[in-house]
Amino acid sequence: MYKNLKHLLFFVFLISPLISIAQTQSSFIGSLDNPNDWVDGVFRKLSKREKIAQLFMVRAHTDKGKAFEDSIAKLIRKERIGGLVFFQGGPARQAVLTNRYQSVSKVPLLISMDAEWGLGMRLDSTISYPYQLTLGAIQDNKLIYEMGKQVAMDFKRIGMQVNFAPVADINNNPKNPVIGIRSFGDNKYNVAAKVTAYMKGLQENNVLVSVKHFPGHGDTDVDSHHDLPQLPFTRERLDSLELYPFRELIKEGASGIMVAHMNIPILDNTPNLPSTLSRPIVTGLLKEDLGFKGIIFSDAMEMKGVAKFFPEGESDVLGLIAGLDVIELSGNSKRAVKLVRQAIKSKQLSWERINASVRKVLMAKYWSGLSNKQFVNPENIIADLNRPEARQLNQQLADAAVTILNSDAQIRNLDLSKKTALVSMGAPGLTTFQNIIKPLLPNSLLFLLPKDASDSDVNNVRAELKAYDQIIVSIHDTRRRPGAVLDYNAGLKTLIADIAKMNSMFTLFANPYAITGLPGIEKAKTLIVNYQNSDEAQRAAVKVITGEMKASGKLPVAVSPGFKNGAGVTQE
């Protein structure tokens, strides 16, 4: 019935990887110096071209149709690349496709994803945990470790081994267009502690990390997806701020670090040279000065931050010369392998250098359990990825992040029987927050104002609110990734300032930096920051308002002179 054992194994699905006791006894970094028969055996069987190909990870999707999926399968068979980076799609489809791709690969593929806030960052029907900025408000880092553990369970369930996370950037530039909510905040100590907790939750459950974006992308005003940012800082500044979290994470055994595309003149004054391609930065700073021994990943080589100045694949070779171990999303992996072989012939690169990275990649595959070729069971995968304990933790994280600014006296004295106006701003319809709180306030009326509300609607609401004893305003940013500035019209922002002068309570389901663009909101008797517009955040806010739960969150960033990092009322 089956042509060979490989085809038989394709139908033997394993819900979770079989990892030997020996593999779980040491960290990945600790395993690098150990002899390994599996690594040696695979290494000896690889041709020179196949060794180079092990250092490349290519893009994979489950939402681009059969032709795209077939093209990736063909690439895996012909080019023998080392791994995949999955992007948008669905979990069941990805499970089936992972099985197909692993079955046609000569060496097990190292499979990865950008899942900073869990699989929901990329896949439908899966859990989105809070953004890292939301987590930055939490005072109990054990919760963040538990999140890392749950994300690791999801990765193993779906057949992945590397999470391109956590983000270790210190977001001390509110205008940063690419980091923002992806950072734990603007305090280096808080960032380092929380990245460590998330990282350990992943690694102690056998998922590799790629901490990013070395040497620090937090203080930029350019998105490296679109152009090359520059860090014009002194070495003293970099050492004391940007590099601090990475230095601490290396001490804690980080298995992988991703290098960003940034030009940093104080470290390498070559014009328009991204840090990914700089030997003084990758080898000199990261490997030699900081002593990092793990896998060094490039950021995506298709990004304009590198492709703008190195459009013909030269970046792949320069990255390896600089000291990278893995090239993520080369513009053309077949061309890249050819260029690397040419660089070796011209003595720009050595086989010793390539072989060291190949062995590191193979050890990552062994440590992740890929020495036993894994196949994923697609049955019940959505239920498994939405297990009750994971959903419960997601709510706990939202609860722990709620931050009260100004005084909480209004909450303590909230009279649920008073005539109350419930004003929702920015959402297209009824929200979870309103649906939960309205039944608790029998003498209340709902007001809905979209972000582009007309002047007449805004004025009508302003007039009607004068008849209410208390006003509870919910401010929603419904964008997929909430920006530092709310996309509300001017009339709505003026109304916010006017309501703040009344007997009002505001709940912000948006990026905390949005407070800066809402002058007057600081005058509200109570301002509750929930950081994002998730259902969990909205449920958490209701718990605090009704006294079911005490708020304990602290601002992880400074948003105004009056609301600095660490601000927040701790309820007794």
The DSSP line for 167-228 is B------TT-SSSGGGSS-S-HHHHHHHHHHHHHHHHTTT-EE-EEEET--SS-SS-TTTS-
- Same domain as 217, residue 91: yes
What does the alpha-carbon distance between residue 238 and residue 171 come to, in Å, rounded to a whole number?
A: 14
**Where is average pLDDT lowest: 7-11, 186-190, 230-234, 320-324?**
7-11
**Per-residue exposure over 478-493, b if at least 16 CB sit within 10 Å of its own CB, e if not:** eeeebbbbbebbebbb
In a domain, 496, yes or no: yes
Is the pLDDT at 8 greater than 60, yes or no? no
C-alpha 148/C-alpha 344 separation (Å) is: 40
Q: By C-alpha distance, which of 72, 68, 48 is closest to 58? A: 72
Measure the CA angle with vertex 531, ends 504 and 243; round to 5°: 140
Q: Which of 325, 360, 388 is the last residue of a domain?
A: 388
Question: What SS3 state is found at 85?
Answer: strand
Residue with tokens 């062994």: 366
pLDDT category at 10 given cuts 50, 70, 90 is very low
Q: What is the pLDDT of residues 292-313, one digit of tens each?
A: 999 999 999 999 999 999 988 8
Co-location of 307 and 450 in the same domain: no
For residue 133, what are the CA distances in angstroms to 136, 163, 333, 427?
5, 18, 35, 22
- Per-residue pLDDT, 216: 94
Asked whether 468 and 419 are in contact (CB, 8 A), the reply is yes
Same domain, 376 and 419: no
DSSP 8-state class, residue 290: S
Judgement on whether residues 346 and 410 belong to the same structural domain of the protein: no
Q: Are residues 298 and 430 in the same domain?
A: no
Q: Quick one: tokens of 201? A: 């939750």
* Residue 238 lies inside a defined structural domain of this protein: yes
Q: How confident is the model at residue 407 (pLDDT cuts 50, 70, 90)?
A: confident
Q: Average of pLDDT values for 241-266?
A: 97
**Containing H/E element for 306?**
helix 304-307
Same domain assignment for residues 378 and 449: no
Q: Are 228 and 305 in contact (CB under 8 A)?
A: yes
Q: What is the pLDDT of residue 11?
A: 35
Q: Which H or E element spans position 388?
A: helix 388-401
Number of domains observed in the structure of the chain: 2
Task: Name the band, by pLDDT with cuts 50, 70 and 90, for residue 3.
Answer: very low
Collapse the DSSP code of 504 into the 3-class scheme (helix H, G, I; strand E, B; otherwise coil) and give the result: strand
The percentage of the chain sitting over the pLDDT mark of 90, rounded to a whole number, equals 89
**Across 463-480, average pLDDT:** 96
Work out whether strand 403-406 and strand 526-529 pair parallel, antiparallel, or are unpaired. antiparallel
Instruction: Tell whether the model's pLDDT for residue 26 goes beyond 80.
Output: no
What's the longest Cα–Cα distance across the chain?
82
Shared domain for 357 and 423, answered yes or no, is no
Q: Evaluate if residue 355 carries a pLDDT over 70.
A: yes
Decide if 116 is inside a domain. Answer: yes
- What is residue 1's predicted lDDT score, i.e. its pLDDT? 35
* Same structural domain, 163 and 40: yes
Q: State both tokens at 530.
A: 């929930």
Cβ–Cβ < 8 Å for 519, 497: yes
CA dist., res. 211 & res. 133, Å (int): 16
Strands (E), 304-356: 327-328
In this prediction, residues 368-387 reach a mean pLDDT of: 94
The average pLDDT across 450-473 equals 96
Q: Is residue 475 part of a domain?
A: yes
Please check whether residues 381 and 423 belong to one and the same domain.
no
Report if residue 432 sits inside a domain. yes
What pLDDT does 447 receive?
Answer: 97
Computed over every residue of the chain, the mean pLDDT equals 93
Q: What is the CATH number of the domain that holds 315?
A: 3.20.20.300
Mean pLDDT, rounded, for 111-121: 98
Residues 409 and 356 in one domain: no
On the question of pLDDT at 23 being above 60, the answer is no
Determine the Cα–Cα distance for residues 89 and 113; give it in Å rounded to an integer.
Answer: 12
Closest CA to 211 of 246, 176, 172, 173: 246
Range of the domain at 128: 5-388
3-state DSSP call for residue 256? strand
d(CA 90, CA 92): 6
Say how far apart CA 108 and CA 114 lie, in whole Å: 20
Residue 97: count of CB within 10 angstroms of its CB: 23
How far apart are alpha carbons 357 and 229 in whole angstroms?
Answer: 28
Task: Judge if 412 and 337 occupy the same domain.
Answer: no
Residue 366 clears pLDDT 80, i.e. is over it: yes
| Range in 97-106, 214-223, 239-248, 539-548 the model is least confident about | 214-223
- pLDDT score of 5: 37
H-run or E-run covering 5: helix 5-10
Q: Has residue 303 been placed in a domain?
A: yes
**Which of 363, 388, 413 is the C-terminal boundary of a domain?**
388
Asked whether the predicted pLDDT for residue 387 surpasses 80, the reply is yes
Q: Answer yes or no: is pLDDT of 2 > 70.
A: no
Distance CA 378, CA 454 (A): 49
Number of other residues whose CB lies within 10 A of the CB of residue 254:
28
Pair 323, 258: CB distance under 8 Å: no
Last residue of a domain, which of 349, 365, 388?
388
Q: Which is it for the CA torsion 317, 319, 321, 325, positive or negative?
A: negative
Closest CA to 212 of 257, 145, 163: 257
Structure confidence at residue 462 (pLDDT) = 96
pLDDT of residue 273 exceeding 60? yes
What CATH number is attached to the domain comprising 440? 3.40.50.1700
Q: Is residue 559, in this structure, part of any structural domain at all?
A: no
Confidence of residue 373 (pLDDT cuts 50, 70, 90): confident
- State how far the Cα of 358 lies from the Cα of 208, in Å rounded to an integer: 16
Note whether 70 and 152 are same-domain residues: yes
Q: Is residue 395 part of a domain?
A: no
359 contacts 294 by C-beta, under 8 angstroms: no
